[in-house]
Structure 1
Amino acid sequence: MDYIRVTSIDDPLFTQMHQLMQNIFPPEEVLEFDLWKEPLEDSGIRVFVAVHEGQVVGATEYRYYEDFNVAMTDFTIIGQAGLGIGPFLANKRAADLKALAEENGKELFGMFAEIYDPYRVDDYEFGGVKPMDPYVRREVLSHLGYRRLDFPYVHPSWNNDGEAVEGLDLSFLTLDPEVQAIDAKLVVKFLKRYYTVLPNKPKKWLDMIASIESKETIALKSF
């Protein structure tokens, strides 16, 4: 299996990846094909596909914020069961992020990830691929060391229609497992930076940000 970076919507691998996204994720979670042009060309956004026998069978997008010394896993897609795609992507991503942090003269502090709450989104089929099932993914993230940030989470719809997407938690992986809370300012700065690309922020999202700004720290809780 090959780990290949995609940097253009003209790359045939991106066409396969976008179709895979549409097969797996609900529509409000998938950015339109043409709107991927600038993100793919952004050196700070890293999109890689797992290619098996010429076909895209998985993908991951993530980014490293040098000034925050944290990363964000935008998504991980496992297109088939039984190929070891999940561990392959996770290991390749971890090695890449470790190198990026070292280039920044630091050891990575941690990584954010959004994760569906299976008790609120069990009607999503995720393409019928069992490794993408919310119950399975939540358990996998828990075993990797991710914990839920203790506040009610929503995010702006990627349709940029001003709607709030619910049914998810924002989680965080600390490389130091002894860390029990993170700075609320870090969470706010990260979320504002991450969703800059979507100008139509729903009121629920703005209220959530205001609530976090009133706190000093956000506790990390087990799923």
Structure 2
Amino acid sequence: MEYTRIQSINDPLFAKLHQLMQTVFPPEEVLAYEKWEAPLQDEGIHVYAAVHEGEVVGATEYRYYPSMLVAMTDFTIIGRPAMGIGRFLMRNRERDIARLAAASGTEPIGMFAEIYNPITADYHFGGVTPMNPYVRREVLSHIGYRRLDFPYIHPSWEENGEAVSGLDLCFLSYDEKLPGLPSSLVTAFLTEYYSALPNKPDAWQYMIDNVSQQETIALEPF
């Protein structure tokens, strides 16, 4: 497999990646094809495909915020079982984030991710077994992700102002004994991350306001 960065919607691999996203994710989680043009050209947004014999069999997108000392995994897609795609993506992503941190002269404290709650997420992810939310949640728990203890929603990537539920905001702390995160870090991260979506639901702002009133947000096991 090759770990290949995609930086243009005109890259033939991007058409295959977008089709894969539409297969495994619900519509509210997938940005429209043409609206990927600017994000792919953004040097701070890293979209990589796992390419096997010319086909996109997996992908990951991530960012590193040196001012906050955190990374964010936007998505990880495993398109086929029994190929080791998940580990391949994780290890390459780890190395690249370490490179980004070193280039900025910073040391990251961990990585955010939105993780589907299998109890509330009524979706089958294109029938791809490794994408099953029960499987993914267990794997991510083994890696070290923990749930930030507050009711989480996010604005729809369909840009219709709807609130999307069924996920938890989680964090992989490089200090495994860290009990929680400062609420100021959580709100700063979410505000920055969703600045690309100007049409936010009132429920999202209500969530941000509630989080900001707390001093610390606990990290809890799944």
TM-score, normalised by the number of residues in structure 2: 0.99
Partner of 1:61: 61
**1:151-166 to 2 correspondence within 5 Å?**
151-166=150-165
Unpaired segments ≥5 residues, structure 2? none
Partner of 1:48: 48
Unpaired segments ≥5 residues, structure 1? none
Residue 107 (structure 1) shift? 2.0
Partner of 1:218: 217
Partner of 1:78: 78
Aligned length: 222
Could you give the per-residue CA deviations for residues 65-99 of structure 1, whole angstroms, max 9, x where no partner exists? 01111000000000000100000000100111011
CA distance in 2, matches of 1:103, 1:18: 30
RMSD (Å) for aligned C-alpha atoms:
0.6
CA distance in 2, matches of 1:192, 1:107: 22
CA distance in 2, matches of 1:205, 1:165: 9
- Given that residues 5 and 47 in structure 2 are in contact (C-alpha distance below 8 angstroms), is that contact kept between their aligned partners in structure 1? yes
Partner of 2:128: 129
**1:81-96 to 2 correspondence within 5 Å?**
81-96=81-96
Could you give the per-residue CA deviations for residues 90-136 of structure 1, whole angstroms, max 9, x where no partner exists? 01001110111112222211000000000001x31101011000000
CA distance in 2, matches of 1:128, 1:69: 36
CA distance in 2, matches of 1:56, 1:38: 21
CA distance in 2, matches of 1:168, 1:203: 18
Matched residue SS, 1:114: strand
CA distance in 2, matches of 1:44, 1:69: 14
Displacement over 3 Å in runs of 4+: none
- Given that residues 66 and 108 in structure 2 are in contact (C-alpha distance below 8 angstroms), is that contact kept between their aligned partners in structure 1? no
Q: Percent identity of the aligned residues?
A: 60
**1:59-208 to 2 correspondence within 5 Å?**
59-121=59-121, 123-208=122-207
Q: Is 1:209 aligned to residue 189 of structure 2? A: no
